[in-house]
């Protein structure tokens, strides 16, 4: 008897370093197709992934990635889709009184 293979997709932001890079590798090893975004270029050569290089701190970057992920053939054919929004920004390391309003807004925005 032939069983259908589940098409599981992970959509991941902030995939280039740290927790995001670890999540990328874990989900690839678990058999997911991973659609991921980061500011830096992805060097991972696994064919079960698709990378979108963008800065998600800009609305154009967010909209571009959403369109990329939503229209990807793997997403359209998926049985399940998981989203992990891991992208983040640490911002300026300083006493709160010394952080500019603009930097604070970008960090928690």
* Mean predicted confidence (pLDDT) in 71-77: 93
Q: What DSSP designation does 8 have?
A: E
Residues in the chain: 109
CA 85 to each of CA 14, 33, 59, 62, 63: distance values in angstroms, whole numbers, following the listed order: 7, 16, 15, 11, 14
The pLDDT assigned to 3 comes to 45
If DSSP codes are grouped into helix, strand and coil, which group holds residue 66?
helix
**pTM of the predicted model as reported, rounded to 2 decimal places:** 0.78
How confident is the model over 32-54, as pLDDT tens digits? 999 999 998 766 667 899 999 99
The pLDDT assigned to 21 comes to 93
């Amino acid at each position: 008897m032939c069983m259908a293979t589940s098409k599981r997709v992970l959509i991941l932001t902030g995939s280039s370093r740290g927790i995001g890079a670890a999540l990328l590798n874990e989900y690839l090893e678990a058999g997911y197709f991973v659609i991921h975004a980061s500011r830096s270029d992805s060097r991972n050569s696994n064919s079960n992934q698709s990378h979108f290089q963008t800065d998600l701190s800009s609305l154009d970057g967010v909209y571009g990635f959403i369109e990329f992920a939503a229209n990807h053939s793997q997403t359209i054919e998926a049985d399940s889709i998981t989203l992990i929004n891991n992208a983040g920004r640490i911002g300026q390391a300083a006493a709160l009184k010394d952080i500019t309003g603009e930097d604070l807004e970008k960090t928690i925005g």
